């Protein structure tokens, strides 16, 4: 089992790959925490409050993270 710091770094790496797509639309996402298999993200810029942010989170970001990191089973947005 990976420790919290390792999981945080791995999720950060996946998020780094996705960041250009978010920034292209004027937004961004920040990884806040990884705990008990849940990655917690905060949307920034245009992503914060965007009606499509839930779809972006679940269909894009969560799927990409879960495909690469077996220990992560959910990605949630925090405010």
Please state the domain count of the chain. Answer: 1
pLDDT of residue 52: 87
Residues 6+ apart with CB under 8 A from 69: 7, 10, 11, 14
Q: Helices marked H in the chain — which ranges?
A: 4-24, 53-55, 63-68
- 11 or 58, higher pLDDT: 11
Cα dihedral 79→47→13→31 (10° resolution): -10
Q: What is the pTM of this model?
A: 0.92
Domain span at 13 = 4-77
Alpha carbon distance 52, 71 (integer Å): 26
pLDDT in tens, 9-45: 999 999 999 999 999 989 999 999 999 999 999 999 9
At 14, which CATH number? 3.30.300.130
pLDDT in tens, 41-53: 999 999 888 888 8
Residues 48, 25: contact at Cβ < 8 Å?
A: no
């Amino acid at each position: 089992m990976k420790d919290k710091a390792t999981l945080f770094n791995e999720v950060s790496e996946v998020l780094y790959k996705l960041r250009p797509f978010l920034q292209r639309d004027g937004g961004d996402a920040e990884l806040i925490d990884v705990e008990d298999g849940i990655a917690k993200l905060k949307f920034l810029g245009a992503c914060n409050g965007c009606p499509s942010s839930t779809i972006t989170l679940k269909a894009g970001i969560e799927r990409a993270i879960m495909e690469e990191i077996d220990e992560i089973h959910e990605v949630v947005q925090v405010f």
